[in-house]
Amino acid sequence: MTSPPRFENAYKTMHTVLNSLRSLDECETEEVSRDVHTVNLEDFQYIGTNITGFRIVNQSPEYQEIVQDWKSSYATGKSLDSEQAPYAKTDVALMYDAVWTFATALNTLEKGQRLQIKPISCATEKQWSFGPTLANHMRGVELRGLTGRIVFDEQGMRTNFTVKVQDLTHIGLTEVGEWEHRSNRGIRKTGNYSRQPEVSFGLRNKTLVITTILNEPYMMKVEDENGIRYEGYCVDLIEAIADDLKFQYKIKEVDDGSYGRKDDLGEWNGMIRELIDGKADMAIADLTITYVREEAVDFTMPFMNLGISILFKKPTKKVPKLFSFLSPLSVEVWLYMATAFLGVSLFLFIVARFSAYEWVNPHPCDLEPEELENQFTLLNTLWFTIGCLMCQGCDITPRANSTRMIAVMWWFFTLIMVSSYTANLAAFLTVERLASPIESAEDLAKQTTIPYGCVASGSTQSFFKESEFPTYKRMWSFMESQRPDVFTDNNQKGVERVKKGNYAFLMESTTIEFIVERNCDLTQVGGLLDSKGYGIATPHGSPYRTHMSSAILKLQENGKLHVLKDLWWKKKRLSQKCAKDDTTSSSSASELGLANVGGVFLVLICGVFLGCIIVVFEFVWKSRKVPSEERESLCASFCRELKFAICCGGSTKPIKSTEEGGEASTPHQENGLPFMPMPGFSSSSPSKGFAS
């Protein structure tokens, strides 16, 4: 590029054609100058005129002070050109630095030796005797002037100076790059703004280049009979915005397949780099809005809000145990309850035997009984306490205040324990809990057996890397130290690694929702670790950003964004719909399978079988107490009694006499209660006794 010798002439000429350009709605004039910073370009910055300038003048505080002094010197009679104030032209600044350099060198030379000023004729070739010495001193001068740092090489050429490159935008002149004399890399872009072709506030009929990255469901490439096309949430979003703003667009995939990350040298990659370099007008993808990225590009208002969460393989459901009805109480509590049952029974038995009010006359008609009876035998006491524990009651009631106090406390204890057991039983029988080793990010940070990671060079990685929260710092240290590497190139590779098991993947919650809808063996663990959003990125100073934000806000207000998300998350490309988890279904809460209550049936069967065994032992024991002369064979007696029990012939049973006309058996006592035949009620004879 060449600089016009007189930019003020071009400035006047540009005003002449300005009206014509406006009528054509095209402003593609390009001007280049090193004094563009001295001119008021307000009339041009809003119509998209392409004006680029080079500035060597350093706008330091010293520069501002000198310019103010110059303005003050013109206070009377003269003034600086209003179009140039408060800036100085490059020629003036260079002249100022030249005089200052000469004065500095001359002052240094004068301090070393006395100078003799003699007139020299310009018509002769005679040189000033101190000329070469002064030139050497000038080459050694180092100072900071209006044009930056002033340093000369051995040949007297200036080195190590910097030239700033400026573009005219709608916010005024903006620095977009710089060129350093000592560098051979050419103009280095500063990232503040990237000059875009056809930048103007009007988007109608313009074709914008959009850089993106493939990631389901935001952006997907489809090949069909019509060729290659793109589809996804972001495609529908930009299509809706384009319909509203009346522009066309062209989608290109980012060259390096990266979202955009700043390296240690301050250089960006990915879509952010392409925006800075001017290869694209905007970037649309699942691109997270971050503070670091905001320093390099501009973002629209977010079109989707989200946060970081954990993707993990869904744990297998616990198979209900056979004795799951015991789960509401721990083993320790069951042991304590058994101990309490035996202990209370023992104390009640002892207290009842010790208390005088528990001993009563077994025959109230006999006013002078020879013996008293106590209903709280050991077996009866156990029957009383177990009946209370099972909330069934008992035909035995305590008479003494001491035994009543023990009974009341036992009733209160059983009331609380049975109520607690019943309340907790429903949850343990109706809910099949998932055996998940992790429930939150804190669980991940506390363990080391399950590795976890995220996408490399993404916003999620930056979040953990820059976080000051202790839990997240510990997680970052763990991820960074893991071998093999826990970071992946993209989300798809992370999901595949999660499917293999024993790996947790940290990613955006919206993407997790999409993946979980299509992979029934995966689930989201815990809540959100942060709060952020996806936005459309544009170069710094781009006029497109405001229009894009307005269009996104309009789509949000009319519900279009929600419709698009519901379409691509729950309807499009959904081969199978995962069944809802039974643990959250209220309708299945009342449905219990045999696996849930099988243990109760087993206990019942065992109890009935145990009762049958006990009755056999009772029969044998009773038979042994019969005198040998009256005893029949054990097998015959067992068959006769079993036949009588099965026939269900009645509720009375005659007493077998020892001989015809003989007396019935003498009274006997079972468990402390006497059973005596009452005279006049015999089944065989009116004079014989009858026992029931």
Q: Annotated binding site for L-glutamate, which residues?
A: 288, 293, 459-460, 508
Closest among 248, 257, 246 to 219, alpha carbons compared: 257
| Angle (nearest 5°) at CA 661 between 656 and 662 | 65
Let me know: does 238 contact 210? Beta carbons within 8 Å.
yes
Let me know: does 429 contact 310? Beta carbons within 8 Å.
no
Residue 5 burial (10 A CB sphere; 0-12, 13-18, 19+)? exposed
Number of Cβ within 10 Å of residue 332's Cβ equals: 8
Output the CA–CA distances (angstroms, integers) from residue 495 to 117, 310, 387, 491, in the order listed. Answer: 85, 11, 58, 6
- The span from the CA of 188 to the CA of 164, in Å, is 10
Closest among 324, 315, 341 to 424, alpha carbons compared: 324
- The span from the CA of 36 to the CA of 45, in Å, is 13
Sign for the pseudo-dihedral over CA of 558, 561, 562, 568: positive
Alpha helices in 355-432 (DSSP H): 378-389, 401-430
Let me know: does 448 contact 438? Beta carbons within 8 Å.
no
What angle do the packed helices 560-570 and 509-518 form, to 10 degrees?
A: 40
Output the CA–CA distances (angstroms, integers) from residue 269 to 106, 458, 462, 489, in the order listed. Answer: 51, 11, 14, 14
Helix (H, G, I), strand (E, B) or coil at 373: strand
The two tokens of residue 546 are 């405001």
Alpha helices in 282-397 (DSSP H): 291-294, 331-354, 378-389
- The span from the CA of 432 to the CA of 593, in Å, is 11
Let me know: does 40 contact 11? Beta carbons within 8 Å.
no
- The span from the CA of 654 to the CA of 74, in Å, is 143
Q: For residue 311, what are the β-bridge partners?
A: 505, 524
Closest among 500, 486, 490 to 451, alpha carbons compared: 486
Q: For residue 317, what are the β-bridge partners?
A: 434
How close are the terminal C-alpha atoms of the chain, in Å? 128
